[in-house]
């Protein structure tokens, strides 16, 4: 019996479990349809969600509906803008709600959402993108809603709230927002218990007032749903670590929101001020000794509408305060703060900020500041003054600034300024009133990589319409620089994110380019490499520079001068001149870091530079023509090139180079023994002594692209042998060159000349030179040389035979016999056999001529002893 009961119970449990899994599939489409209908009946926007899922386990015994990737996209006038984006939306309800009819409302008890975005925008006309409710519903429409809210709890995790008012240029971002509330919304009046955390960023007209400021608020809100009134009851807020308390209410009315709020710090300890400082620059307030007070108090009362804001007053005050951190040797004393933010009319533009006094003292150094800002939303007017001294080394001794390396130096300021933002934006400098100076001396700074910057003296002078850099003397590594100049729109850069414009003069005894490159740790090899600085987009200035020495990679440049123009992430170089390699270099060009890979284009002029040095130390010239150690002398050249730069060293990426070169060699000598190519060439072409090549005034033109160098054919002469050379080689040193020689016949020796002398004047003229061709392949260190000498010998022999044959035919047998006897050698005692017939005489004479011609040519190209003994000059 017991077993039977257990079986029945087990079966029921299995059936219930199966039902809990199966039911969601039966109701899924109905739930999606009801949600879709509910949304479409209420909003005028494009709404979509990836999926809707039903679970009976997640909140059992309640059901849970989950919407994935719910997105609401605005229509005109904000077409395409995202109003709401939710990664996940969970709706909690009773299971019985699933069994209601099609026209019955589903009662929602709880809402949870994750990874959401709410994006509120007001355009210039004051229209908000959140107003998406359908306007065509009449009060007589009694159709029931497919959804009803009876919420008892809600929770939002990792939300982002964006707000932008285009007319007032107010931008607010509430990031990392987590908010939850518990209360019975089924009643008209309830107490809602809430917890909230977020980070707030606030900008007004490009000026940042808050940046990722942490905010915590735990509050009990009294909610009157009938009157749309929300009252702060028990609450505790932290702005950074500054505690605040709120009293009062916010009520929604037809015209907007009615505010009546008061807030204040619950205590007056000066620790409250330290709590304002962002956590990134602050430290624990435990055991900090303070004297004096610090209070924040204020109110906001009135209507927030399209045209008005509540009147408000924020009073921030401290008098004769001090603080000292327990582990630091110095304290900050005599602190006075008197600041008010006030609106007395309800018009936002009438808000003004008075910093009546800010003063503090560290050791004997006193610093004072005051400022007034008004007309803040239309054309902010700033009137400010700074005066005092700060020993920078004392900052980290009095306050726990998180620096990798301590600062040193003395900052002094005595500056007054008055300006309005419209004048700044339009560069109407005549409306900007400046006076005073600011200086920095003995400033020393070391970054996390150990690179140091020492500023011995820097002086900035504020004149009525401009800021002058009167002095800037600094050293870093092996470099020293001295800079003077004018900043044209200093305030536009500071307040309006405009380009920083200026004109400067730089002088230096020595600049090492590596001192201005940033070391970077290679995560793969754990080695340190350098990363070149990207040209800042905000710079728009020119620099006229002179330097006695510039060290770049392995090069030492002397007497460097020229003009640098920086604009649009591009550095343009004009009339750059330098002494190097015993000559001079002139340069015009540009470097751009705007794209993903830096690019450059340059025109170089080399004048009287030493070939041995330049072709050894410049990778570009090495690749274009490997002449180092082979040719001594001077070079004049113009080079046009462009390509990509190496991102780390900012040196040319040779594989991407494109350009051309026109060069001329001067006062050159050749070291043939240092060149495998010349040695091999001399071995194959016996009529040239490569060690005696004269390359003076040689001009050559080359082009290069995609790692290939093409040499336009050019002529050289060895004595009176003419050679034409042309072809190409790669940066990998593989080559393919053609050499064409015209070899005068006189280099064949006296017997050849005597033989040719027998020809007619017209025929002898044709024999004045012999064309020889050579092809060079392989590479410069292991060349392969092929020539057409053999075919040239055969061709010349055939020509001589043909010429002599024709002549002998005309002269007859007697002439042939006389010729043979005349050319018989003295030692030849062999009896001459006279041919029996005229045809036999002709044949014998031709064979002898052919044999003698072959012997002569073989002697020329194989350098037999008799030829070697003859002088090489004609």
Question: What pLDDT was estimated at residue 860?
Answer: 46
| Rounded distance between C-alpha atoms, residue 598 and residue 650, angstroms | 8
Compute how many other C-beta atoms are within 10 angstroms of the C-beta atom of residue 307.
Answer: 12
Instruction: Check if the beta carbon of residue 193 is closer than 8 Å to that of residue 183.
Output: yes
Q: How many CB atoms neighbour CB 16 within 10 A?
A: 11
- Residue 862 CB partners (closer than 8 Å, separation 6+): 686
- The helix/strand count (H/E) of the chain reads as 13, 40
Residues 541 and 631 in one domain: yes
Distance from CA of residue 726 to its chain's centroid? 41
Q: Domain range spanning residue 394? A: 240-402
| 840 Cβ neighbours under 8 A, 6+ residues apart | none
Q: How far apart are CA 874 and CA 864, in angstroms?
A: 18
Q: How many other C-beta atoms can be found within 10 angstroms of the C-beta atom of residue 38?
A: 17
Query: DSSP class of residue 465?
Result: S
- Residue 697 belongs to a domain: no
Backbone angles phi, psi at 299, to 5 degrees: -150, 160
Rounded distance between C-alpha atoms, residue 277 and residue 288, angstroms: 15
pLDDT at 757: 66
The answer to whether residues 158 and 293 belong to one domain is no
Measure the CA–CA gap between 384 and 174, rounded to whole angstroms: 31
- What sign does the CA torsion over 106, 111, 117, 123 have? positive
What is the SS3 assignment for 379-417? CCEEEEEEEEEEEHHHHHHHCCCCCCCCCEEEEEEEEEE
- The residue length of the chain stands at 874
- Tell me if 374 sits within 8 A of 380, measured CB to CB: yes
Last residue of a domain, one of 378, 402, 426: 402
Domain identity same for 363 and 509 = no
Cβ–Cβ < 8 Å for 647, 598: yes
Query: How many other CB atoms are there within 10 angstroms of residue 477's CB atom?
Result: 15
Buried b (16+ CB within 10 A) or exposed e, 752-785: bbebbeebeeebeeebebbebebebebbbeebeb
Query: Virtual CA dihedral for 281, 284, 288, 293, nearest 10 degrees?
Result: 70
Please state, as a whole number, how many other Cβ atoms lie within 10 Å of the Cβ of residue 124: 8
CB–CB of 190/184 below 8 Å?
yes
**What pLDDT is stored for residue 95 in this prediction?**
64
- Say whether both 388 and 248 belong to one domain: yes
User: Looking at the structure, do residues 157 and 260 belong to the same domain, yes or no?
Assistant: no
How far from chain centre, in Å, is Cα 51?
A: 41
Helix axis angle for 838-862 and 789-822, nearest 10°, is 130
Nearest to 54 by CA among 12, 101, 93: 93
- Residue 630 sits at φ, ψ, to 5 deg, of -105, -45
Torsion of CA 545, 549, 552, 557, to 10 degrees: 100
Residue range 358-402, pLDDT digits in tens: 999 998 999 999 999 999 888 889 999 999 999 998 988 888 877
With beta carbons less than 8 A apart as the criterion, state whether 506 and 516 touch: no
pLDDT at 873: 41
DSSP states along 776-814: EEEBSSSEEEEE-HHHHHHHHHHHHHHHHHHHHHHHHHH
For residue 367, what pLDDT is reported? 94
CB proximity list for 68: less than 8 A, separation 6 or greater? 49, 50, 51, 52, 53, 87, 88
Sign of the C-alpha dihedral, residues 736, 739, 740, 745? negative
DSSP E strands in 13-78: the ranges are 46-48, 51-59, 62-73
Residue 808 lies in a domain: no
Residue 409 lies in a domain: no
Is residue 368 domain-shared with residue 512, that is, in the same domain? no
Q: Are residues 159 and 263 in the same domain?
A: no
Determine the Cα–Cα distance for residues 592 and 664; give it in Å rounded to an integer.
31
250 and 385 co-located in one domain? yes
Tokens coding 185: 């919304």
CA-CA distance, 230 to 257, in Å (whole number)? 11
| Radius of gyration for the chain, computed over Cα atoms and rounded to the nearest angstrom | 46
Beta bridge partners of 215: 198, 239
Instruction: State both tokens at 524.
Output: 């793969």
In this prediction, residue 632 carries a pLDDT of 85
C-alpha triplet 350, 354, 360: angle, nearest 5°:
165
Residue 371 and residue 285 in one domain: yes
Q: Do 639 and 603 touch, CB atoms closer than 8 A?
A: yes
Question: What is the spatial distance between Cα 113 and Cα 122, in angstroms, rounded to a whole number?
Answer: 25
pLDDT at 523: 45
Q: Is residue 523 part of a domain?
A: yes
The 3-class SS string of 707-772 reads CEEEEEEEEEEECCEEEEEEEEEECCCEEEEEEEEEEEHHHHCHHHHHHHHCCCHHHHHHCCEEEE
Q: How many domains does the chain have?
A: 3
Which parts of 166-266 are beta strand (E)?
Answer: 170-182, 189-204, 207-224, 229-239, 242-253, 256-264
Residues 6+ apart with CB under 8 A from 717: 694, 723
Q: Which of 350, 380, 402 lies at the terminal end of a domain, its last residue?
A: 402
Q: What is the largest CA-CA distance in the chain?
A: 151
Specify the DSSP element, H or E, that contains 434: strand 433-446
419 neighbors 429 (Cβ within 8 angstroms): no
Phi, psi of 370 (to 5 degrees): -150, 155
Residues 821, 833: Cα–Cα separation, whole Å? 11
The whole-angstrom separation of Cα 556 and Cα 613 is 11
pLDDT < 70 positions in the chain? 1-42, 54-63, 94-106, 134-150, 206-207, 278-283, 404, 447-449, 517-533, 628, 649, 745-768, 793, 796-797, 800-801, 803-874
CA distance 601 to 642: 4
Could you tell me if 161 and 53 lie in one domain?
yes
Q: How far apart (Å, rounded) are the C-alpha atoms in residues 857 and 516? A: 66
353: in domain:
yes
The answer to whether the peptide bond before residue 61 is cis (omega within 30 degrees of 0) is yes
Query: CA 664, CA 362: separation in Å to the nearest integer?
Result: 68
| 448 within domain boundaries | no
Question: How much is the pLDDT for 596?
Answer: 82
Q: For residue 568, is it within any domain?
A: yes
Can you tell me whether residue 88 is helix, strand or coil?
A: strand
528 and 387, same structural domain?
A: no
pTM: 0.64
pLDDT score for 837: 56
- Locate 837 and state its tokens: 């017939």
762 located within any domain: no
Burial class (CB in 10 A: 0-12, 13-18, 19+), 133: exposed
| 307 and 388 share one domain | yes
Helix axes 750-757, 838-862, angle to 10 degrees: 140
Angle at the Cα of 767 (from 764 to 768), degrees rounded to 5?
Answer: 95
Domain end: 652, 670, 688, which one?
A: 670
Contact 743, 769 (CB under 8 A): yes
């Amino acid at each position: 019996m017991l077993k039977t009961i257990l079986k029945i119970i087990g079966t029921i449990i299995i059936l219930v479990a199966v039902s809990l899994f199966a039911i969601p599939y039966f109701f899924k489409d109905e739930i999606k349809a009801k949600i879709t209908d509910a949304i479409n009946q209420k909003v005028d926007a494009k709404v979509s969600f990836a999926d809707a899922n039903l679970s009976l386990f997640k909140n059992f015994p309640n059901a849970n509906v989950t919407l994935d990737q719910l997105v609401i996209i605005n229509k005109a006038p904000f077409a395409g803008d995202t109003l709401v984006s939710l990664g996940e939306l969970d709706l909690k309800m009773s299971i019985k709600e699933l069994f209601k009819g099609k026209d019955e409302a589903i009662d929602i008890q709880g809402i949870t959402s994750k990874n959401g975005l709410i994006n509120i925008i007001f355009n210039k006309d004051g229209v908000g993108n959140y107003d998406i409710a359908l306007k065509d519903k009449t009060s007589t429409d009694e159709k029931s809603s497919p959804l009803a809210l009876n919420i008892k709890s809600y929770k939002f995790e990792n939300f982002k709230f964006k707000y932008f008012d285009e007319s007032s240029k107010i931008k607010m971002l509430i990031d990392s927002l987590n908010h939850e509330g518990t209360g019975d919304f089924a009643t008209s009046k309830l107490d809602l218990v809430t917890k909230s955390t977020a980070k707030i960023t606030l900008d007004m007209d490009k000026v940042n007032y808050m940046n990722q400021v942490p905010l915590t608020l735990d509050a009990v809100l009294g909610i009157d749903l009938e009157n749309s009134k929300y009252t702060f009851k028990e609450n505790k807020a932290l702005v950074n670590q500054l505690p605040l308390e709120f009293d009062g209410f916010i009520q929604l009315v037809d015209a907007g929101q009615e505010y009546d709020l008061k807030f204040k710090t619950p205590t007056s300890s000066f620790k409250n001020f330290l709590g304002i400082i962002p956590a990134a620059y602050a430290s624990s307030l435990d055991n900090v000794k303070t004297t004096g007070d610090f209070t924040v108090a204020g109110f906001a009362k009135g209507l927030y509408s399209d045209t008005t804001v509540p009147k408000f007053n924020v009073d921030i005050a401290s008098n004769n305060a001090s603080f000292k951190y327990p582990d630091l040797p110095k304290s900050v004393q005599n602190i006075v703060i008197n600041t008010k933010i006030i609106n007395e009319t309800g018009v936002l533009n009438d808000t003004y900020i008075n910093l009546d006094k800010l003063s503090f003292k560290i050791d004997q150094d006193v610093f004072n500041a005051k400022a007034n800002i008004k007309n803040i939303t239309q054309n902010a007017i700033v009137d400010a003054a700074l005066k005092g001294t700060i020993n920078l080394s004392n900052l980290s001794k009095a306050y726990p600034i998180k620096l990798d390396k301590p600062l040193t130096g003395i900052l002094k300021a005595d500056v007054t300024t008055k300006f309005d933002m419209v004048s700044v934006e339009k560069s109407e400098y005549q409306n900007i009133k400046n006076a005073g100076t600011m200086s920095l001396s003995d400033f020393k700074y070391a970054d996390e990589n150990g690179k140091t910057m020492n500023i011995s003296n820097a002086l900035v002078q504020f004149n009525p319409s401009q800021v002058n850099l009167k002095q800037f003397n600094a050293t870093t590594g092996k470099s020293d620089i001295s800079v003077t100049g004018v900043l044209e729109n200093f305030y536009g850069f500071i307040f309006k994110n405009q380009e920083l414009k200026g004109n400067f003069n730089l002088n230096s005894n020595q600049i090492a380019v590596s001192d201005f490159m940033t070391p970077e740790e290679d995560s793969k090899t754990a080695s340190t490499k350098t990363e070149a600085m990207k040209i800042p987009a905000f710079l728009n200035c020119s620099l006229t520079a002179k330097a006695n020495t510039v060290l770049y990679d392995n090069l030492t440049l002397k007497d460097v001068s020229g003009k640098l123009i920086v604009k649009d992430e591009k550095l343009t170089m004009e009339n750059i001149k330098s002494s190097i390699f015993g000559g001079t270099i002139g340069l015009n060009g540009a470097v751009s870091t705007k794209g993903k890979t830096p690019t450059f284009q340059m025109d170089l002029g080399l004048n009287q530079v030493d070939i041995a040095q330049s072709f050894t130390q410049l990778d570009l010239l090495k690749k274009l023509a490997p002449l180092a150690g082979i040719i001594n002398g001077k070079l004049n050249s113009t080079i046009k090139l462009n390509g990509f730069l190496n991102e780390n060293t900012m040196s040319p990426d040779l594989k991407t180079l494109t350009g051309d070169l026109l060069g001329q060699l001067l006062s050159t000598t050749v070291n043939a023994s240092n060149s495998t190519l010349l040695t091999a060439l001399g071995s194959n072409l016996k009529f040239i002594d490569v060690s005696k090549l004269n390359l003076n005034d040689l001009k050559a033109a080359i082009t290069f692209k995609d790692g290939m160098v093409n040499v336009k054919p050019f002529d050289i002469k060895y004595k009176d042998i003419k050679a034409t050379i042309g072809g190409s080689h790669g940066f990998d040193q593989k080559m393919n060159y053609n050499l064409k020689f015209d070899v005068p016949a006189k280099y064949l020796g006296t017997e050849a000349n005597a033989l040719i002398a027998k020809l007619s004047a017209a025929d002898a003229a044709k024999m004045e030179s012999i064309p020889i061709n050579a092809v060079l392949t392989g590479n410069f260190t292991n060349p392969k040389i092929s020539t057409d000498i053999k075919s040239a010998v055969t061709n010349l022999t055939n020509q001589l035979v043909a010429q002599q044959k024709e002549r002998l035919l005309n002269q007859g047998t007697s002439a042939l016999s006389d010729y043979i006897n005349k050319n018989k050698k003295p030692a030849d005692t062999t009896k001459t056999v006279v041919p029996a017939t005229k045809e036999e005489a002709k044949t014998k004479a031709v064979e002898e001529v052919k044999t003698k011609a072959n012997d002569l040519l073989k002697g020329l190209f194989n350098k037999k002893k008799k030829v070697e003994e003859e002088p090489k000059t004609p």
